[in-house]
Homo-oligomer: A and B are copies of this chain.
Amino acid sequence: MSVMSIESRPAPEHEALVDLLGVLAHAELTACLRMCADAEAAPDIGVRVALTRMATGEFGHYERLAERIEALGYDPTAAMAPFEEAIADFHDRTAPGDWLEGLVKAYVGDGIAKDFYREVASHLPEEDAALICSVLTDTGQEGFVVELVTGAIENDPAVAGRLAMWGRRLVGEAMAQAQRVAVHRDGLAGLIVGEAGMDLGELGRLFTRLTQTHADRMRRLGLSP
């Protein structure tokens, strides 16, 4: 990689795509680091390993997104910078209180991210769509998380109410930060919803679809959505 050849400001025709790759890259990098912090707090070493495995998977996604930004001729750091605050805010507002909340956050967060990837892939140039789809393979930890969470609820049914509220808070905070980003990055919103451009109604419908698949995931964990 030659630093000389990297532009920090994307050309207008690349602006929205570099924004999209930048926000996803920052989200994956930060998800990795916050998930590792949750892993460290887990008293059980098996849970710690499972969370760390999911976290390093997220960093693998980061690497592919950052490579693509570089291949387009831009600096990944500059592409990520505009999203630093919204992503940090999301995590600061959703710091898990214990390892169970950490597991639910990892499962729910990873699930929403994948649904979102599937949604946007269809509006992207072929190479970028292929990249986005390539990060959709699961890390094989999902079954393990479902088992642990449903097991914890069996042990203590009161846990279910607390975790259900936690799940609602997670998705609420995610949508709030996503909307905040979309409002400030017109091109990005347009790219996400496709041809319709920056139609905030279409963005709302996308959020509705994401909320529905999120509800299915909550039910798989034994939680009312």
Contact = CB atoms under 8 A, between A and B. Distances in A.
A52 B45 contact: no
A212 to B, nearest CB: 33
B52 A29 contact: yes
Contacts of A49: 29, 62, 66, 76-77
Interface in A36-91: 36-37, 39-40, 45-46, 48-49, 52-53, 55-56, 59-60, 62-63, 66, 76-77, 80-81, 84
Given A45-B77, A45-B80, A46-B77, A33 B52 contact: yes
A163 interface: no
A29 B48 contact: yes
A36 B45 contact: no
Identical subunits present = 2
Nearest to A60: B56
A32 interface: yes
Contacts of A77: 45-46, 49
A104 to B, nearest CB: 20
Contact of A40 (B33, B48, B59, B62): B33
Nearest to A78: B45
Interface string A22-36: 000000010011101
A81 B45 contact: yes
A18 to B, nearest CB: 15
Given A29-B49, A48-B29, A55 B36 contact: yes
Contacts of A56: 32, 56, 59-60
A40 B60 CA distance: 17
B32 A36 contact: yes
Given A29-B48, A45-B81, A49-B77, 17 more contacts: A29-B52, A32-B36, A32-B52, A33-B36, A33-B39, A33-B40, A33-B48, A33-B52, A34-B40, A37-B37, A37-B40, A45-B77, A45-B84, A49-B62, A49-B76, A56-B56, A56-B59
